[in-house]
Structure 1
């Protein structure tokens, strides 16, 4: 009986192919989502919103409140040290 796992050099070819194909499908989905996000940013810009600020807000919302507060305090401290107040 032949080995159906398609082993080559100790590597299960069918299993490897399955992983590669799954990753390729997910990469394609990711590209589609990235295109959708780009479209939303373009729509926001078209209605007058500043996209750079929206990106900053998105980044800040991902952070924990304490981390965000610490960064804001450091930013204020550095601005004061540079006379930017």
Structure 2
């Protein structure tokens, strides 16, 4: 179960901050709220900022791993049959 992280800190107007998050390779993350940006993005604080990290399945990674496993399985199967 994922835990929610709440960070509250005061930054002066014009401050530049980087929104960081550790996201597993099999997921993609996006901060949703005042700004809609990817983890690692820099934002400029000019007013109160509320961001929530949303994580979803990284379908590109899952499909790539599946294709590689299938390709290796087919190659092994062909080699064994010869």
TM-score with structure 1 length normalisation?
Answer: 0.33
More helix per residue: 1 or 2? 1
Quick check: which has more Rg, 1 or 2?
A: 1
More strand per residue: 1 or 2? 2
**Higher RCO structure, 1 or 2 (CA under 8 Å, sep 6+):** 2
TM-score with structure 2 length normalisation?
Answer: 0.35
